[in-house]
């Protein structure tokens, strides 16, 4: 049976959002977990510098992965805004702004990784600094990169809570995903603020955010990818805007 053109639009939003979320599922753990765990020796600047020298290609792949993440986030933010705007335009806009704020912080944070490459790149002007100083500065910027992650987690927490509210009120995706997404937001907030206020609790907070993110985000985006949305319910909400047509005042 042929699907009407107007019903294809929300399903396209949903499925592309699901695809992009899977890109994040692949790139996120690689650049945020695997690369640091492989190359960074906590508290040991010299050992870290040696590992970075031996694994520079892996470190650069991590930077590339970070770039893919924040570029993907920009597109995904737009798709989620368009998908949930019919539910509540104001809340959808606030959720989009929170996610975009997170994305900006992620993009700026790549600068910390780029500075590490400069410090360990052997440029002539760095000869004024000894190897020990360069190694210490490199580890400082790596630690700064980790701390900035906790800053963007707070923006993402707000996004998840607002998105959870939109999901719950939408009627075109199962309501259960709403509380689960809000739970993910609570996990990100606990990780973001907790690591900034009580860094000694890092391991516990990492476990919390991992569990809440997997349970809160992954089922929703898999649903979007596989099942999409109830197009008729979405169209009922969007009908006033659709009836005016594009470009209408």
What is the structure's pLDDT at 173?
A: 96
- First-to-last C-alpha distance (Å) of the chain: 35
Cα separation, 71 vs 194, in Å, equals 27
- Look at 84 and 245; give whichever has higher pLDDT: 84
**Residue environment code for 224-237, b if the CB has 16+ CB neighbours within 10 A, otherwise e:** bbeebbbbeebbeb
Residue whose pair of structure tokens reads 């944070």 in the numeric block? 109
Examine the pLDDT at 135 and tell me if it is beyond 50: yes
CA nearest neighbour of 161 among 191, 181, 187: 181
The structural domains of the chain, with segments of one domain joined by +, span 5-241
Find all residues with CB under 8 Å of 53, minimum gap 6, and list them.
120
Q: How confident is the model at residue 161 (pLDDT cuts 50, 70, 90)?
A: very high
Examine the pLDDT at 179 and tell me if it is beyond 50: yes
Q: How confident is the model at residue 200 (pLDDT cuts 50, 70, 90)?
A: confident
Cα separation, 19 vs 84, in Å, equals 17
Tally the residues of the chain: 249
Read off the pLDDT of each residue in 182-188 and give the average, rounded to a whole number: 97
What is the structure's pLDDT at 244?
A: 43
Q: How confident is the model at residue 4 (pLDDT cuts 50, 70, 90)?
A: low
Q: How confident is the model at residue 248 (pLDDT cuts 50, 70, 90)?
A: very low
């Amino acid at each position: 049976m042929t699907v009407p053109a107007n019903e294809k639009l929300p399903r396209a939003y949903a499925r592309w959002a699901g695809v992009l979320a899977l890109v994040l599922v692949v790139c996120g753990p690689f650049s945020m977990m695997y690369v640091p765990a492989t190359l960074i020796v906590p508290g040991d600047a010299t050992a870290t510098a040696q590992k970075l020298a031996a694994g520079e290609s892996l470190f650069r792949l991590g930077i590339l992965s970070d770039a893919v993440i924040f570029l993907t986030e920009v597109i995904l933010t737009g798709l989620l805004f368009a998908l949930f705007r019919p539910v509540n335009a104001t809340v959808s806009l606030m959720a989009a702004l929170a996610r975009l704020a997170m994305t900006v912080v992620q993009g700026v944070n790549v600068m910390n990784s780029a500075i590490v490459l400069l410090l360990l790149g052997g440029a002539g002007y760095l000869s004024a600094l000894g190897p020990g100083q360069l190694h210490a500065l490199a580890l400082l910027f790596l630690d700064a990169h980790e701390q900035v992650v906790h800053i963007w987690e707070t923006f993402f927490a707000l996004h998840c809570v607002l998105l959870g509210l939109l999901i719950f009120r939408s009627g075109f995706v199962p309501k259960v995903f709403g509380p689960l997404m809000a739970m993910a937001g609570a996990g990100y907030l606990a990780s973001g603020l907790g690591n900034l206020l009580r860094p000694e609790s890092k391991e516990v907070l990492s476990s919390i955010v991992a569990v809440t993110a997997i349970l809160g985000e992954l089922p929703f985006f898999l649903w979007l990818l596989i099942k999409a949305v109830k197009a008729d319910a979405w169209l009922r909400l969007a009908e006033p805007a659709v009836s005016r047509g594009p470009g209408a005042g």
